[in-house]
Amino acid sequence: MKKVVVGISGGVDSSVSALLLKKQGYDVIGLFMRNWDANLNNDTLGNPTLSNNICPQEQDYNDALEVCKKIGIPLKRIDFVKEYWDYVFKYFLDELKACRTPNPDIMCNKYIKFDMFAKYAKELGADYIATGHFARIKDGKLLRGVDNNKDQTYFLSQVSKEQLQNVLFPVGELTKQEIRKIALENDLITAKKKDSTGICFIGERNFKEFLKNYLPNIPGDVIDIDTNEKVGEHIGLMYYTIGQRRGLNIGGTKERMFVVGKNVEKNILYISYGDDSKYLLSDSCIIDNVNFISDLRPEKCSAKFRYRQPDNDVELKYLENGDIEVIYKQGVKSVTPGQACVLYLGEECLGGGIIKEVRKQGEKLWYL
């Protein structure tokens, strides 16, 4: 009997993953990862953020424990707090300091779930590891999940081809509706549990309040990029991302405004007015930290520059230093340094890179 260690998060997707593997005849072990010290999520009084007097992370563990008891599999718990801090959270802070927009979930998959987790699973004698990601692996290729609305290959784009060997994605062939139906039919406590959203270590807390604990606020001017006039003040460049239009707190106008750029040296936030600002459009970008899961190196494919964004037709120019120039002549809004650019050829996720610089007509956009 093949042994599989499945990551149990306390959510419905991983719960059903474990259930399906058990029904398929595997020797299944559940593994709950503690990646964040909940005591670091303090409110203004210095108290841990609680939900019904139970830390959300502990509630997830309790739910995972109930699921494993119901299925009839053991649940182990492992602490990756230090590793998460070193490989994911420090990266997150460094990117914010550089006024880029990072995606820590992508790095969590690369360094924690498909590295530290996999190594520990091997120590347990696992033939396979499994997670509740909406993705599929077929003939060594990483394919999108069947549920296009939930597909999570974007977040797997920095995982290596080697890391994806002996990996199972049990719910990749299912829709979210089908997963909840299976959970209900098998009386799993997570069947109706709300999906987690946002960044895992922040949880339901206010992003700005959380970040104050780690990075100082450095207020500065908000400048209208068209008139070069000051129209307000920002509370710190790290709190804003390209294309953002909510939470700017700039009075005196009823026009819609968007964040279009940042000047790190002068600590300036640039905004523009109107629904279709020309400053949000670019036609190419440079990506670094390139990771290919596929053996293919196409000249044309499609790309996502943000999760849930529609596919964009692109051309790829492979540069001598290993970077790639991604060209999208039709123009795309709000391509943002620090975010992932993920490449696809039909259903296959080829891999991707991190957006280093954004260009229009061959020139780097000065306000980025």
Please report whether residue 201 resides in a domain: no
Neighbours of 194 (CB within 10 A): 8
Same domain, 160 and 51: yes
Residue 48 has pLDDT above 60, yes or no: no
Q: Which CATH number do you get for residue 221?
A: 2.30.30.280
68 in active site = no
Dihedrals phi, psi of 299, to nearest 5 degrees: -90, -25
Per-residue confidence (pLDDT) for residue 324, from 0 to 100: 98
Residues 316 and 330 in one domain: yes
In this prediction, residue 245 carries a pLDDT of 87
pLDDT for the residue numbered 46: 39
Is residue 261 located within the same domain as residue 291? no
* Residue at a domain's end among 170, 185, 200: 185
Statement to judge: residues 118 and 24 lie in one domain: yes
Above pLDDT 70, what percent of the chain?
Answer: 91
**Are 7 and 49 found together in one domain?**
yes
- Distance (Å, rounded) from C-alpha 311 to C-alpha 341? 11
Q: Both 259 and 284 in a single domain? A: no
Higher pLDDT, 153 or 248: 153
The side-by-side arrangement of strands in the sheet containing 3-7 is 75-79, 27-34, 3-7, 128-130, 167-168
Strand-pairing partners, residue 29, are: 5
Do 175 and 303 belong together in one domain? no
pLDDT digits (tens, 9 = 90+) for 193-239: 988 766 767 666 677 888 888 998 899 999 999 999 999 999 999 99
Calculate the average pLDDT of the chain: 91
Q: Which of 243, 273, 303 is the last residue of a domain?
A: 273
- Does residue 321 belong to any structural domain of this protein? yes
Residues 64 and 174 grouped into a single domain: yes
For residues 136 and 147, give the distance between their C-alpha atoms in angstroms, rounded to a whole number.
11
Q: Is residue 17 part of a domain?
A: yes
> Is 221 found in the same domain as 152?
no
**pLDDT tens column, 259-313:** 999 999 999 999 998 866 789 999 999 999 999 999 999 999 999 999 989 999 9
pLDDT at 47 over 50: no
Establish if 149 belongs to a structural domain. yes
Q: Does a structural domain hold residue 211? A: no
Q: Would 332 be classed as within a structural domain?
A: yes
Domain that holds residue 17: 3-185
55, 68, 99, 108: the active-site residue:
108
Burial 241-252 (b: 16+ CB within 10 A, else e): bbbbeeebeeee
Instruction: Supply the CATH number for residue 345's domain.
Output: 2.40.30.10
Strands 340-345 and 348-360: antiparallel
Residue 60 sits in a domain of what CATH number? 3.40.50.620
Do 340 and 158 meet the contact criterion of CB atoms below 8 Å apart?
yes
How far CA 26 is from CA of 5, 254, 264, 330, in Å, comes to: 10, 60, 53, 48
Q: Is 108 a catalytic residue?
A: yes
151 and 255 in a single domain? The answer is: no
Q: Is residue 246 domain-shared with residue 294, that is, in the same domain? A: no
Q: Which tens digit of pLDDT belongs to each residue from 115-160? A: 999 999 999 999 999 999 999 999 999 999 999 999 999 999 999 9
Tell whether 52 and 170 lie within a shared domain.
yes
At 204 the pLDDT is 61
pLDDT at 53 over 80: no
Structural domain total, the chain: 3
What pLDDT does 39 receive? 67
Is residue 206, in this structure, part of any structural domain at all? no
Domain boundary among 228, 245, 273: 273
- Residue 208 counted as domain residue: no
